[in-house]
Amino acid sequence: MHDGLHLTLRNKCTSGTQMSSTSMKGSPMDMDSAYQNGTFIKDADGYMPRWQAKAQAFRAAQGLRMGQLTSDLGGSIDVFYPKSQVRG
């Protein structure tokens, strides 16, 4: 009979050396520098406007209309049920 999962954690790596509770070395990360990538990207201020213009041109070339339904759904939906009773 199985009486549950038993898990033992040890503080040693595969080479047998003792590990510390954290493996971080060096100084803490500067989160502003880590997540504000614009300073590292050439012409970062122009990136978003260029991206928006390219997206607009792509949608126009494809004839896509955002937010406009092209067919009447008639106020109904299809619902599919499983063949067996649902569990969980």
The pair of three-digit structure tokens given for residue 20, joined into one six-digit string: 């510390």
Residue 36: is its pLDDT beyond 50? yes
What pLDDT, on the 0 to 100 scale, is given for residue 51?
93
The per-type count for the chain, helices as H runs and strands as E runs, is: 2, 0
Which of the pair, 81 or 27, is modelled with greater confidence?
A: 81
Note the pLDDT of residue 8. Answer: 52
CA distance 64 to 67: 10
pLDDT at 1: 47
- Exposure string of 19-57, with b = 16+ CB inside 10 Å and e = fewer, is eeeeeeeeeeeeeeeeeeeeeeeeeeeeeeeeeeeeeee
pLDDT tens per residue, range 41-85: 889 999 999 999 999 898 888 776 666 666 777 777 787 878 888
